Structure 1
Amino acid sequence: MNKKLSLLGAAVATSLLLTNPAPAEAKIPFFSGEQEIPTLAPMLEQTTPAIVHISVAGNREVRQRLPEAFRHFFGQRGSNEYKEERPFKGLGSGVIIDAEKGYIVTNNHVIQDADEIEVRLKDGRTFSAKKLGADPETDIALLQIEAKKLVQITLADSDKTRVGDFAVAIGNPFGLEQTVTSGIISALGRGGLGIEGFEDFIQTDAAINSGNSGGALVNLRGELIGINTAILGPNGGNIGIGFAIPANMMKNLVDQIIEHGEIRRGSLGIRGQDVTSDLTEAMNLKVSRGAFVNEVMPDSAAAEGGLESGDVIISMNGNKINSFLELRAKVGTLGAGREAKFGILREGKERTITVKLKEVSTSQVAASQMHPMLDGAELSNAEGGGVKIDSIANNTAAEQIGLQANDVIVGVNRQRIANLAELRKMLDNRSGVAALNIRRGNTNLYVLIR
């Protein structure tokens, strides 16, 4: 109730006292005793037992800068950094998705490097958890506990979530267990943030803070629509911009971990870009959003399924595709061997093509595993030596620093590299700025990363 409404209520009460000096009972004008006050309590009473508190402990490798004098004293050359292991503790949240089998989903960054994982339920029971698998590229991890009388959450079809839907975040911010905040869905399909390798986030203004990671974002039915994973805000504080991994994406990844014990990344085998106004005008397209196919790779899933260069992918499995980055995230997390139905626009006519996704080659990796500023690039070993950039996703760190598809990284800090393993080693041992020596056609250039 705002101040004006409060004053208005006081004036009404005063008027009643003047006309009737001895009222039996003062009534609140908004809700009578017979009216039910709107509340989320019944839903939360059913849902919150599925949200758990996670505490971890372990040892983590950290880099320390060696003072110049000691560097010479110990004979260190080339680098003024050294690595050491330090103990750490952390807190987070998790969601029970299978009560019978004791499966709990959380964020990979919550349990990464942990030697001990402890799960505490709402009823106070505590269990040691076993890590079944994880995917750092999407920040999803699957745990298991042996316990009875667990409560699992119901999964929503997150593809049916709409901007403006009410949302409730449940977790353990700053260790404050079973904290509930509410808001709305602010946006869908958020990507290009450089948070994860594959991004297709649900954005919400429900308050999310440190410790909410791995917790639940639910609708008003108490169904899981997302796993809270990150916020945008100064010093880690909430400013009403939070991000959750969609429940459907999470389920695809968890199913792969359960079935294979690992993530088998799906590959379509195309190079492309977002549909832009310039592209729409140049190609006379009838759509303003989607993923434009620049090139179809030979012997790829796309080639076998009938996709062609010049096609515009506008939907996947019945859900709209707004950008190439969104397509990349959905394909990469669906899993190898799965079929996907793509709605495409070809020469002004809509068609549907079914493609069986292949598995990403073991020699091809996401560049974000090498360095955050390479996020958005796909790398593979180049013929004749070096590391080839197979593709660059739009609005990513790799694009912003000037990298392009078909570039070949031939060296780092004037030292030649022959393959992905050498590139990873060079970047792991870097100190400060790293200069990538790029071969682009007949030209050599340098790109700096920090």
Structure 2
Amino acid sequence: MNMPLRLLLLIVMLCTSTSNYAALPLTLDGENVPSLAPLIKKVSPAVVDISVTGANKLLPKDAQDLLKFLGPEAPTQAFSGLGSGVIVDAEQGYIITNYHVIKNANRILIKLISGHQYQAKVVGQDIQSDIALLQIDSKQPLVAMTFADSDKLQVGDFTIAIGNPFGLGQTVTSGIVSALGRSGLNLQNLENYIQTDAAINSGNSGGALINLKGELIGINTAILGPNGGNIGIAFAIPANMVKNLMQQLLEFGEIRRGILGIKGGEVTPELAQSFDLDVNYGAFIYQVTPDSAADKAGLKAGDVITAINGSNIKSFAALRAKIGSLSAGKEITLKVLQEQKVKTISVILGGEGDNLQAKAPIVIFEGATLKDAEEGQMTPGVNVLAIEKESEAERIGLLKNDVIIAVNRTPVKNQQQLLSALTESTKVRALNIMRNNRPIYIILN
């Protein structure tokens, strides 16, 4: 009888007990039939269904209308949504999900596989990585999922996705790791995705991607499909990245993102040839910010970073995502190709306020030198220290000594909040500026 290759490989793998994966036989009619059922039975209580309700602010189509709605009576539209989540701490009731699942929600309802339901509160969230940490006060014993070391994943490893597609209830699909280090879905976000062909659809967001040991290897977050349906290309946030961010949210209540202090890009074949590089992957450094963590550690323009903490780096986007999930003050070890020599360099990551001359990370502010608000500053916001002539920042109307205090009425006190507010907003955005102690608005198209 013909058998699909994946099923055949799965049966062979399940029937061969190894140190990494235990065989999971299911007795049926007196025969041992390979099955994932015992594993799913063990881990599925750690995956929850999430339903949310809330209200979105209605933004007008052009700048003139936008200004009319900057008052407190801006209209809203009610919405409801569905998603998934993963219990990561049974004692404290902590649940990881995607930020976009609970965005703007004023009521978050968690449903366990047992049928019990609880309202959740938001402990913390990170827009750039699309992660949110929730908490429930459960009267029932909870089951938590263990984190795997996602840096050890390889293309071809088996995967299992558990979630709540289309609100149908808990659903299990299987596949393999199709690729690692995927990026480019949203250039504003931190992206270092695991790609899998396990069937993932709307409602799976925030659910679990696990290995055959029942460990969490990723949080399902996005799909690539022409009509929003599964075509075998789905993406998950790696478990190590999720774990690092969760620890920051628990410790600080916010993300205190570490900063390396470099600008760079991918290692292309043309770049490798021009610089006579011995590698064709990694993160190429175009520029090192003066007095930054990278500068203090001895990194130079023209270097290629190929690994962080022993894990290979395939692209600049992957490096950016890994650094972005670590906290300020964290010591890391980089493997660097510098002047044709491989070096190991230790770096203590800086914080948002360390690089006073760092350019804003958003293209519309190219040419602006920004600095976060100082403690005790009369008008908290992002200070504009200087504007380059004929730059994009000058074109949109920014001036030296401006203080950016809000985006579409969302207050901002540092560059991270400014980036998050601009990432969240629609195509029409209004910068609230304090200029000579008077508030003005700059409209961005």
TM superposition score category, shorter chain reference: 0.7 to 0.9
Q: Counterpart amino acid of 2:264?
A: G
Deviation at 1:197, TM superposition (A): 1.1
1:78-129 per-residue CA deviation (whole Å, 9 max, x = no partner) reads 6698552111111110000010111100000111111111111011111111
Structure 1 distance, partners of 2:29, 2:426, is: 69
Contact 2:367 2:394 in 1 (8 A): no
Contact 1:93 1:214 in 2 (8 A): yes
| Bigger mean CA deviation after superposition, 317-326 or 274-283 | 274-283
Q: Residue 410 of structure 1: SS of its match in structure 2?
A: helix
C-alpha contact 2:182 2:191 (8 A) present in aligned 1: yes
Sequence identity percentage: 49
Q: Secondary structure at the match of 2:227?
A: helix
Give the structure 2 partner of residue 202 of structure 1.
194
Aligned to 2:35: 39
Aligned position for 2:207:
215
2:158 to 156, 166, 170: 166
Is residue 347 from structure 1 mapped to residue 342 from structure 2 by the alignment? no
Q: Check 1:307–1:431 CA distance in 2 against 1; reply closer, same or farther (3 A cut).
A: closer
Report the Cα offset of residue 235 of structure 1: 2.3
1:250 aligns with 2:242: yes
Aligned to 1:269: 261
What is the aligned-residue RMSD (CA, Å)? 3.6
Q: Distance in 1 between matches of 2:172 and 2:369?
A: 42
Are 1:65 and 1:81, in contact at CA under 8 Å, matched by a contact in 2?
no
Over residues 62-86 of structure 1, what are the superposed CA-to-partner deviations in whole Å (9 max), with x where a residue is unaligned? 22459xxxxxxxxx95669855211
TM superposition shift of 1:212: 0.4
Cα displacement string for residues 247-292 of structure 1 (whole angstroms, at most 9, x for unaligned residues): 0000000000000110001100112221121221222111111112
State the structure with more CA Rg. 1
Q: 2:321 aligns to what?
A: 329
Structure 2: gaps spanning 5 or more residues: 5-26, 372-382, 410-420, 430-443
- Change in 2 beyond 3 A, CA 1:198/1:32: closer
Match of 2:14 in 1: none
Residues 115-264 of structure 1: pairs in structure 2 closer than 5 A: 115-147=106-138, 148-194=140-186, 197-264=189-256
Letter in structure 2 aligned against 1:164: G
* Partner in structure 1 of residue 415 of structure 2: none
Aligned to 1:295: 287
For structure 1, list consecutive stretches of 5 or more residues without a partner in the other structure: 5-30, 67-75, 389-405, 435-448
1:409 aligns with 2:400: no
CA deviation after TM superposition for structure 1 residue 433, in Å: 8.0
TM superposition shift of 1:420: 7.1
SS in 1 for 2:58: strand
> Deviations along 1:160-182, whole A, 9 cap, x unmatched?
11111111110001111110111
TM-score (norm 2): 0.76
Corresponding residue of 1:393: none
**AA partner of residue 118 (structure 1):** L
**1:47-86 map, 5 Å:** 47-65=43-61, 77=64, 83-86=74-77
Change over 3 Å in CA distance of 1:377–1:231 after alignment to 2? farther
Q: Is 242-251 or 358-367 further displaced after alignment? A: 358-367
State the shift of 1:411 in Å: 3.3
Aligned length: 380
Alignment check: 8 A CA contact 2:266 2:283 kept:
yes
What does 1:354-365 align with in structure 2 at a 5 Å threshold?
354-361=346-353
What residue is the counterpart of 1:13 in the other structure?
A: none
CA distance in 1: counterparts of 2:387 and 2:33, whole angstroms: 66
Distance 1:61 1:300, change over 3 A: same
